[in-house]
Structure 1
Amino acid sequence: MTNAIRPFEPSRRALLSAAAGWAIAGPAAARRGEPTVAITLRPDLARATTLFEGWGTALAWFANVTGGWPDAERTRLADLFYGPGGLGWTIARYNIGGGDRPDVKPYLRPGAALPGFWRQPEGATGTDWWRPDQEAMWDWSADANQRWWLDAIKARVRQPIFEAFSNSPPWFMTVSGKVSGAEKATDDNLRPGQEGPFAAYMARVVDELQRRHGVAFRTLSPVNEPNTDYWHAANTQEGAHWSPARQAAMILAADAALKARGLKTVISAPDETNSHLFLADWAGYPPEARAAIGQLNVHSYGVVNQTGVRDAARAAKIRLWMSENDTPLDKDPESFEGMASPLAFAEHVVLDLKRLDPSAWVLWQAVETLSTRDGAKGSNWGLVKVDYRSSPEGPHAIHLTAKYWAMAQFSRYIRPGYRLVPVDDLDTIGALSPDGRELVLVHVNGGLSPRELTPPRGWSGRMIVTDARRRAEPVPGLTVPPRAIATLVLRR
């Protein structure tokens, strides 16, 4: 049995090492006296169909920051997510930066200024100087920090899955001259006729990084959250609007550029922000654009019409990923120990897996910047908190949040090679091991009453819990405490 499908069982020593420097700061005790609710779980093992490929994160901003930190600190972070005793992730999405004008005053948020791989010749002006066939116009020293993570993941994961994605074309290919978007958020920002040069840019980056780092990018996503009103010139991160017609043209151009280089990388699309916009994009693609897509990507910042996306993928016989999400509870003040956001996050994961039936679930940013530095209440994005704005030389405080342990309840036990199983309980998802002998059920109890779970007949096992007092710890019996996430690992 390979590492790709073996149940992920971190050692006690590894767990203690991963949690070093972290402590639970005495949250209020769970309410007492609430009656226990009995729930019988009925997974439909006959419908264990979708082959799950794993869990992971986009690298992007946090890798652009932390990849340049002292080795002990960045190594610890890589171990927390991809190493023994960590989360057991196997997927990473590498962000091909567009790269802003060298002479522009910095305006992107900390970490978000991803370097481009182009080099502007001395004396070149305007926007028409770049020639992809001229080697002097490429800079292969760029983006060293995010690239450190490629090597770190490769060293920790036996069969990693890498995806490359773009948020914006380079500034000189845009209408506004900025990688943050057009002047008007609903205008396309790629200049007309630049599909070929932009496709050549992305395909060459994929080719070079594969060769230089010894990795394989299985997919390339050329557009991101394209049919939204998010991206405008005054924004503080890379982004670009694409109408469905321009998306289709870009998909075809990128597919052609990959094939021209003889690469096995295929196109993933449209990486739309939610399912109802995904369906609008998909409806606007001509048959040739649909045929060029090897993987469908959708984000879950909104859950309307998720089963419609599931059906589109099934009808097209194309693999579907939930390729980006994070779900802190709205207006929940930043907290390393609080359970409100971890419960909301876990419930969202459960519903995504139930409704989308995806082959993978990928977080936006595993590491987020401290959001209370300037006196604000902050938010609970990310699983680990650091200060993006601190000096690269360090030292850097690394704060594991309860959301890290909420993710552990899923990713340590639902492993690549398992098949997702429908479960009749709304708060429970299931997965069956390749040999059919292990059944994993993850249950989220967001209420005040304990829940006594009854597994299917013939199955027995153990339960692991994250709540206000425990962090992915074994608990005797099968009664889930209130305000808790529980994983049942069952065998027959």
Structure 2
Amino acid sequence: MWRTRAAAGMIPLALLAALMLPLPAAAQQPPPTAEAEVVITIRPAVERPGTEFEGWGTALAWFAHVTGGWPEADRARLADLFYGPDGLGWTIARYNIGGGNAAATPPYLRVGAAVPGFWRQSASGSGKDWWRPDHPAMWDWSQDANQRWWLDAVRERVKAPIFEAFSNSPPWFMTVSGRVSGAEKATDDNLRPGQERAFAAYLARVVDELQRRHGIAFRTLSPFNEPNTDYWYAANTQEGTHWSPERQAKMIDAADAALKARRLATRIAAPDETNSHLFVEDWAAYPPATRARIGQLNVHSYGSVHQTAVRDIARTSGIRLWMSENDTPLPKDPEDFDGIASALALAEHIVEDLKRLEPGAWVFWQAVETLSARDGKPGSNWGLVKADLGAPATGSHMLYVTRKYWAMAQFSRYIRPGYRLVAIDDPDTAGALSPDGRTLVLIHVNGGLSPRRLDAALSGNWSAETIVTDASRRAERIAAGEALRAPPRSIATFLLRRR
């Protein structure tokens, strides 16, 4: 545990009475307190099977569907910000296989969310039963050029990228409602009964074709997203589909069979549930044969209940675990590119995920979000970079790099693929050890108003380097001293190297 050492003593009655008197308005804000000495216990030698870290990344989806069509200078700058060696150094990209609404459906999805499918409807096709996956004329491989640009951009910037394909909804003609945004009732499954094999064939063919056309490998395919929730309904503004745990199992079986029929090495990732307690519910309903077909466990962290249960499921089953989606703006925090509040909230959330889930990767939701403070509304701090995603594709685009971007840099630049997560006895600190055991990375989030001094109890001779993001610094190195110091309201990364 962290321990704060403070002097103990009695408060004189006269002073106590004075403290109870009302203060002038200018004196209401308490002055910063003296620096507290905090002691942590670090056990980098503790073995944690399955906690070798693979990297950081984002879902491409909506923002890539927009920005991949921008002028080269703008889209290349974005790709460098996230995947370049001088950017965040991400190594993971999740590609969204679109479902696609019928051509006659009036546009209603939010900006960027209308990711097209790869099917082509013939002039004579009508109803919902016209499509045949084995007919070449029913495929259109010219679709989704913008998001696919990002596949090439990541491949060009990352030495060993990891690609995952994921689906939010089947194509409209495989659904009950005829819309990719969900069933009429949010708790009803929207895939038509008996369509599992057809949908699996669609997903597997897209994986196969895009691998060949872009010279990449999709290591995993996630056939559904946040399935056992009440998020998805026909009038919603994004793709989504409810899946009961029983229908999830049938879809996992069908998708695995479809991948194997095409002789692909791609494995199934599931269930991509919105939080850990629903993950546990889904997993409990899967038959053993279905569980055996899963090559990677995906969970989102919109909620922290039962995270250690998910960790233990991954350990006992011997299946790799990813935290495959999250973004954590502080609720009701107005849009502010330089604000530290949402940056601290994101960093605290990442620390908690790394400590409780112990995942093999941590993947952001949408790295770019549209400007939201408009028409007198305060907006929000979703995303790491802000831009006007509704602006015409032609012409230049202003990019606003937020303080959350620099909070992410405190993690992704220093906990690199191959590092191993280690146990740290402090709720505000996460740690990782380099493959050679000579570099220990500590990331501490100080959300308080007082500076903190951290005393790391390590044997041997270590040098220290400190990188800080706070209200005035953006992942900046600060002067090293004998003590590890985290300024108030900051994210501090300490690089401890064995001499």
Q: TM-score range by the shorter chain?
A: over 0.9
Tell me whether 1:93 sits opposite 2:99 in the alignment: no
C-alpha distance after superposition, 1:234-281 (max 9, x if no partner): 100000000000000000000000000000000000000000000000
Q: Tell me, what secondary structure is at the counterpart of 2:258?
A: helix
Question: Quick one: distance in 2 between partners of 1:427 and 1:210?
Answer: 41
C-alpha distance after superposition, 1:175-201 (max 9, x if no partner): 000000000000000000000000000
| Native 8 Å contact 1:38 1:452 kept in 2 | yes
| Native 8 Å contact 1:48 1:420 kept in 2 | no
Equivalence map 1:38-57=2 (5 Å): 38-49=37-48, 50-57=51-58
Displacement of 1:34 in angstroms is 1.9
Paired AA for residue 36 in structure 2: V
Equivalence map 1:12-411=2 (5 Å): 33-49=32-48, 50-411=51-412
Q: Which residue of 2 aligns with 1:480?
A: 486
* Moved >3 Å (runs of 4+): 30-33
| Native 8 Å contact 1:55 1:362 kept in 2 | yes
| Native 8 Å contact 2:59 2:95 kept in 1 | yes
Displacement of 1:314 in angstroms is 0.6
Larger Rg: 2
Paired AA for residue 473 in structure 1: E
Displacement of 1:454 in angstroms is 1.5
Question: Quick one: distance in 1 between partners of 2:99 and 2:58?
Answer: 20
Question: Quick one: distance in 2 between partners of 1:444 and 1:58?
Answer: 25
Paired AA for residue 92 in structure 2: I
Question: Quick one: distance in 2 between partners of 1:39 and 1:199?
Answer: 54
Displacement of 1:32 in angstroms is 5.7
Question: Quick one: distance in 2 between partners of 1:108 and 1:43?
Answer: 48
Equivalence map 1:455-470=2 (5 Å): 455-457=456-458, 458=460, 459-470=462-473
| Native 8 Å contact 2:463 2:497 kept in 1 | yes
Q: Which residue of 2 aligns with 1:15?
A: none
Question: Quick one: distance in 1 between partners of 2:88 and 2:279?
Answer: 29
Displacement of 1:84 in angstroms is 2.1
Paired AA for residue 487 in structure 1: T
Q: Tell me, what secondary structure is at the counterpart of 1:165?
A: strand
Displacement of 1:31 in angstroms is 8.5
Q: Tell me, what secondary structure is at the counterpart of 1:464?
A: strand
C-alpha RMSD of the superposition: 1.0
Question: Quick one: distance in 2 between partners of 1:259 and 1:225?
Answer: 25
Question: Quick one: distance in 2 between partners of 1:84 and 1:356?
Answer: 27
Question: Quick one: distance in 2 between partners of 1:129 and 1:31?
Answer: 70
Q: Tell me, what secondary structure is at the counterpart of 1:344?
A: helix
Q: How many residues were matched structurally?
A: 463
Paired AA for residue 481 in structure 1: P
Paired AA for residue 238 in structure 1: E
C-alpha distance after superposition, 1:65-95 (max 9, x if no partner): 0000000000000000001210010000000
Paired AA for residue 217 in structure 2: A
Q: Tell me, what secondary structure is at the counterpart of 1:46?
A: coil
Displacement of 1:453 in angstroms is 1.2
Question: Quick one: distance in 2 between partners of 1:48 and 1:360?
Answer: 18
- Percent identical among aligned pairs is 73
Paired AA for residue 439 in structure 1: L
Q: Which residue of 2 aligns with 1:19?
A: none
Question: Quick one: distance in 1 between partners of 2:495 and 2:44?
Answer: 15
Answer with 372-381 or 250-259: which moved more: 372-381
Displacement of 1:99 in angstroms is 0.5
Displacement of 1:375 in angstroms is 2.8
C-alpha distance after superposition, 1:152-190 (max 9, x if no partner): 000000000000000000000000000000000000000
Where does the alignment leave 5 or more consecutive residues of structure 2 unmatched? Answer: 1-28
